[in-house]
Amino acid sequence: MTASAVATLKTQRRPLYPGWFYAPAAVVYSVLFLAPTFASLYFSLTRWTLFDATFIGFDNFAQFFREPFLIQGLVNTVIYAVITSGLKVVIGMLLAVMLTSQIMARGYLRSVIFFPVLVSTIGVGMTFTVLMHPTMGMINQTLAMIGIKGPGWLVDPKLALFSVALVDVWKGVGLATVIYIAGLVAIPKDYYEAARIDGATKLQNFFYVTLPLSRPATATVITLSFIGGLRTFDLIWAMTKGGPGFASDTVASVIYKQYQAGFYGLSTAGNVVLFILIAVLVVPLTMVLNRKQGHE
Amino acid sequence: MAGLELKNIQKTYGQVEVIKGVNLKVEDGEFVVFVGPSGCGKSTLLRMIAGLEDITGGELYIGDKLCNDVEPRDRSIAMVFQSYALYPHMTVYDNVGFGLKLAKTPKDVRDQKIREAARILKMEHLLDRKPGQLSGGQRQRVAIGRAIVRQPEVFLFDEPLSNLDAALRVDTRMEIAKLHADLGATMIYVTHDQVEAMTLADKIVVLDAGVVQQVGSPIELYQRPANLFVAGFIGSPKMNFAPVKVDAIDADGVTVSGQDVINLRLPIRTSGVNVGDALTLGVRPHDLAIAASGTIIGRVTLTERLGNETIVNVELPSGASWLAVLAGDHILNRGESLSFHAETSKAVVFDKNGQSLVS
């Protein structure tokens, strides 16, 4: 190869933009993400006020795991994440199938389903707290009209977590539906036509074509909603504050309570634990979900 | 196996009429090719036969059964799609056996049929693979295998070769022809490639703008095109056309001339033609030969030397561009003046409505 040819090759391989173009994004990312991440790793090993910090090793972690309600918080967090992501997958998929078929007012219904996603979580939490009031709430009053005694949605320790999870699903299913709609409309209609000629019923179409071919959308919905479920805080806080007792506490609400009490080092250690919990659960999950399927 | 019959078949989308009353009879075991330019309605017609499009008007019979409102699965048809439509999450084995599985065919019978289809198509070694691991040609074979196992009465092919490269297209075309010979099944094949149509078909149906222009054997369409559209569509390179006027008529033929043609005597019998009528002359590029005192004179604008033949692009006095395919290798210079002799026994003339006057 001649020198000029090598030079040409080098020119061709040069990146499209000079390296310093990345600098603004790198600065923003470092200041807002990397620095706080490493700072919190450090502060989780200290006893600190806002003004000074004393290094105490892993004492915060030991203390955090000694919290009597932490185990329940961990279990609640996983239950909450599984319920919300599971329901969002099932309901989101069914709604997407409905909203991609030939039905009346399809565009309007798509907007209606997506609308709760746009509403403030705190607002939704406050509204549903009123709706779910055991005696004055509209839900139980409506049930009473048909002779059913409604449960104490948010005051029954056995129900509180599930009630909040249902509200989370109501608020978040619109996003899952939109992701599924995008996935479903991308499935070539030839597959359905081939299945139709082969004699597939609508149900068989769903199980043999729609479900397997919307796997990428399912992976996205599960990943997003599972992570969202694991780090949930705002809705729990707006509706139950982790109560009654510690019945609906999640790791995030436990951390927040410690932060409120002024245990900054302890709550930072809790955040590190939550970070590790999410990584430990989500990394293998996404690896399984995104496993290559020999797609074309 | 069964034939099929289309009686005044129509298709409209709102106000737009896409298929305008097609009548066609396909005999049992016949290989029929629908050919035409993009948007002519050939795929729509095929999809109506498959049951994937509703029939707006007319009657469709498969065998003796009126099938207008019959579900695709009950029409005893199988279809090979342009995209192959192989389910990416299933192995070749499962793709081929999918229809049988839905029909609740016993597992051992299903297995036997899948392996038999794989043997016919020489793809036994591919059964455990997924479509993503196959080449274009292999995918095509799997798609055909999926059709074969159902043992349909009619096979429908929707441009099945258009996603293959040129060499593979020729091979697969031959395989489909062989398959037809082996199975003896009725096959309807849609293509816009007239070479595929000419090589595969027992009968070609030329469509344009939702109307059947001509139905006939490939040679019939090549030698006796019914109108200007068919003449221009069938044959490669396409037929040359020139406007002419009738100079004289006698019992053995007519003499025509025009700006590009000097006193060309055509040994054809026509009826309803008078001296002075304006006609269109059609001459195939293969029917032109260089001659010292030919009736057609032009200037060379481009030469394509293919070794066994030479394609010459010439500009005639009117500015019209004609092609001549000359046997053997010729070295011709751009701008060189050439005189051609036309094989008049194979020439065609069309009236002012574009209809052939050669019976």
Query: What is the tens place of the pLDDT at every residue in B74-104?
Result: 999 999 999 999 999 999 999 999 999 998 9
Is B357 a domain residue? Answer: no
Instruction: Search chain B and give the residue with CA nearest A189.
Output: B85
Domain containing residue B267: 240-350
Q: Which of B352, B345, B39, B359 is nearest to B226 (CA)?
A: B359
Inter-chain residue contact A209 with B87, CB threshold 8 Å: yes
pLDDT in tens, B90-144: 999 999 999 999 989 999 999 999 999 999 888 899 999 999 999 888 998 899 9
pLDDT value of residue B253 = 86
pLDDT value of residue A168 = 95
Contacts of B103 in chain A (CB under 8 A): 199
Residues B39-56, mean pLDDT to the nearest whole number = 94
Give the rounded distance of the alpha carbon of B321 from its chain centre: 25
CB-CB: which of A188, A191, A193 is closest to B52?
Answer: A193
pLDDT in tens, A223-252: 999 999 998 899 999 999 887 888 899 989
Is B358 a domain residue? Answer: no
Long-range contacts of A46-51 (CB under 8 A, 24+ apart): A46/A265, A47/A265, A48/A264, A48/A265, A49/A262, A49/A264, A50/A264
Residues A39-46, mean pLDDT to the nearest whole number = 89
Instruction: Search chain B and give the residue with CA nearest A199.
Output: B73
The tokens 């056309």 sit on which residue? Answer: B241
Domain stops at, among B210, B233, B256: B233
CB pairs under 8 A between A and B: 72
User: A200 at the B interface (CB within 8 A)?
Assistant: yes
Do B187 and B272 belong together in one domain? no
The total number of structural domains in chain B stands at 2
Q: Judge whether residue A207 has pLDDT over 60.
A: yes
Rounded Cα distance between B101 and A207, Å, is 13
Q: Judge whether residue A97 has pLDDT over 90.
A: yes
CB-CB: which of B85, B88, B98 is closest to A193?
Answer: B85
Residues B239-259, mean pLDDT to the nearest whole number = 91
pLDDT in tens, B265-291: 888 877 778 899 999 999 999 999 999
Residue pair B297/B330 in contact (Cβ under 8 Å)? The answer is no
User: A190 at the B interface (CB within 8 A)?
Assistant: yes
The whole-angstrom distance between A189's CA and the closest CA on chain B is 9
pLDDT averaged over every residue in chain A:
88
Considering only CA atoms, give the Rg of chain A.
25
Q: Which of B232, B199, B196, B234 is nearest to B215 (CA)?
A: B234
Do B280 and B148 belong together in one domain? no
Which amino acid would we find at residue A74? L
User: A215 at the B interface (CB within 8 A)?
Assistant: yes
Do B267 and B210 belong together in one domain? no
Q: Residue A28: is it exposed, middle or buried by C-beta count within 10 angstroms (0-12/13-18/19+)?
A: exposed
Q: Which of residues 114-173 of A touch B (CB under 8 A)?
A: none
CB hemisphere CA count around A295 (13 angstroms) = 11
Q: Judge whether residue B247 has pLDDT over 50.
A: yes
User: A295 at the B interface (CB within 8 A)?
Assistant: yes
The whole-angstrom distance between A145's CA and the closest CA on chain B is 48
pLDDT averaged over every residue in chain B:
91
Domain stops at, among B233, B254, B280: B233
The whole-angstrom distance between B133's CA and the closest CA on chain A is 7
Do B229 and B256 belong together in one domain? no
Residue pair B142/B126 in contact (Cβ under 8 Å)? The answer is yes
Is B359 a domain residue? Answer: no
Neighbours of B282 (CB within 10 A): 23
Q: Which of B113, B169, B174, B177 is nearest to B146 (CA)?
A: B113
User: B217 at the A interface (CB within 8 A)?
Assistant: no
Contacts of A203 in chain B (CB under 8 A): none
Is B355 a domain residue? Answer: no
Do B181 and B261 belong together in one domain? no
> Residue A7: pLDDT band by 50, 70, 90 thresholds?
low
Instruction: Search chain A and give the residue with CA nearest B139.
Output: A296
The CATH code of the domain that includes B286 is 2.40.50.140
pLDDT value of residue B12 = 94
Do B41 and B180 belong together in one domain? yes
> Residue A13: pLDDT band by 50, 70, 90 thresholds?
low
Domain stops at, among B202, B233, B264: B233
The token duo for B348 is 């065609």
Is B264 a domain residue? Answer: yes
The whole-angstrom distance between A111's CA and the closest CA on chain B is 28
pLDDT value of residue A1 = 46
Rounded Cα distance between A167 and B295, Å, is 88
Q: Is B251 helix (H, G, I), strand (E, B) or coil?
A: coil
Rounded Cα distance between B321 and B342, Å, is 16
User: B104 at the A interface (CB within 8 A)?
Assistant: no
Do B181 and B153 belong together in one domain? yes
Q: Residue A33: is it exposed, middle or buried by C-beta count within 10 angstroms (0-12/13-18/19+)?
A: exposed
DSSP state for residue B356 in the 8-state scheme: B
Question: What distance, in Å, lies between the first and last C-alpha atoms of chain A?
Answer: 38
The DSSP code sequence of chain A is --HHHHHHHHHHHS-SS-GGGGHHHHHHHIIIIIHHHHHHHHHTTEEE-SS-EEE-TTHHHHHHHH-TTHHHHHHHHHHHHHHHHHHHHHHHHHHHHHHHSS-TTHHHHHHHHHHHHHS-HHHHHHHHHHHT-TTTSHHHHHHHHTT-----TTTSTTTHHHHHHHHHHHHHHHHHHHHHHHHHHTS-HHHHHHHHHTT--HHHHIIIIIHHHTHHHHHHHHHHHHHHHHT--HHHHHHTTT-STTTT--HHHHHHHHHHTT-HHHHHHHHHHHHHHHHHHHHHHHHHHT------
User: What Cα–Cα distance (Å) separates residue A261 from each residue in A42, A72, B1?
Assistant: 20, 20, 84
Do B181 and B256 belong together in one domain? no
Residues B210-219, mean pLDDT to the nearest whole number = 95
What is the torsional sign of CA B299, B303, B307, B309?
Answer: negative
DSSP state for residue B127 in the 8-state scheme: T
pLDDT in tens, A46-94: 888 778 878 888 888 888 888 777 888 889 999 999 999 999 999 999 9
> Residue A292: pLDDT band by 50, 70, 90 thresholds?
low
CB hemisphere CA count around B65 (13 angstroms) = 14
Find all residues with CB under 8 Å of B130, minimum gap 6, and list them.
A293, A294, B88, B89, B90, B91, B92
Inter-chain residue contact A213 with B85, CB threshold 8 Å: no
Q: Judge whether residue A2 has pLDDT over 80.
A: no
Inter-chain residue contact B98 with A208, CB threshold 8 Å: yes
CB hemisphere CA count around A33 (13 angstroms) = 6
Rounded Cα distance between B189 and B192, Å, is 10
Which amino acid would we find at residue A2? T
Is B89 a domain residue? Answer: yes
pLDDT value of residue B324 = 95
pLDDT in tens, A122-164: 999 999 999 998 888 899 999 999 988 888 888 888 999 999 9
Rounded Cα distance between A243 and A156, Å, is 9
User: B97 at the A interface (CB within 8 A)?
Assistant: no
Strand ranges across the sheet with B4-13? B16-26, B4-13, B57-62, B65-66
Inter-chain residue contact A191 with B73, CB threshold 8 Å: no
pLDDT value of residue B150 = 87
Do B249 and B278 belong together in one domain? yes
Rounded Cα distance between B311 and B324, Å, is 6
User: B83 at the A interface (CB within 8 A)?
Assistant: yes
Instruction: Search chain B and give the residue with CA nearest A294.
Output: B132
Q: Judge whether residue B2 has pLDDT over 90.
A: no
Which amino acid would we find at residue B176? I
Q: Structural domains in chain A?
A: 83-289 (1.10.3720.10)
Q: Which of B341, B154, B309 is nearest to B237 (CA)?
A: B309
Do B209 and B168 belong together in one domain? yes
Rounded Cα distance between B5 and A135, Å, is 72
What is the torsional sign of CA A233, A238, A241, A247?
Answer: negative
Long-range contacts of B304-310 (CB under 8 A, 24+ apart): B305/B329, B305/B330, B305/B331
Find all residues with CB under 8 Å of A293, minimum gap 6, and list them.
A215, B88, B89, B130
Which amino acid would we find at residue B238? K
Do B226 and B306 belong together in one domain? no
> Residue A295: pLDDT band by 50, 70, 90 thresholds?
very low
Q: What is the pTM of this model?
A: 0.81
Is B266 a domain residue? Answer: yes
Q: Is B196 helix (H, G, I), strand (E, B) or coil?
A: helix
Instruction: Search chain A and give the residue with CA nearest B158.
Output: A190
User: A196 at the B interface (CB within 8 A)?
Assistant: yes
Q: Which of residues 80-99 of A touch B (CB under 8 A)?
A: none
ipTM: 0.84
User: B102 at the A interface (CB within 8 A)?
Assistant: yes
pLDDT in tens, B326-355: 999 999 999 999 999 999 889 999 998 999
Instruction: Search chain A and give the residue with CA nearest B143.
Output: A194
Say what the alpha-carbon torsion angle A54, A56, A61, A66 is, to the nearest 10 degrees. Answer: -100
Q: Judge whether residue B184 has pLDDT over 50.
A: yes
Neighbours of A254 (CB within 10 A): 26
Do B215 and B286 belong together in one domain? no
The CATH code of the domain that includes B168 is 3.40.50.300
Q: Residue A257: is it exposed, middle or buried by C-beta count within 10 angstroms (0-12/13-18/19+)?
A: buried
pLDDT in tens, A244-276: 888 899 989 988 988 888 888 888 888 898 889
Which of A203, A292, A293, A296 is the best substitution to test chain B (most B C-beta atoms within 10 A)?
A296
CB-CB: which of A191, A199, A204 is closest to B87?
Answer: A191
User: B132 at the A interface (CB within 8 A)?
Assistant: yes
Rounded Cα distance between B343 and B144, Å, is 43
Is B277 a domain residue? Answer: yes
CB-CB: which of B79, B89, B132 is closest to A213?
Answer: B89
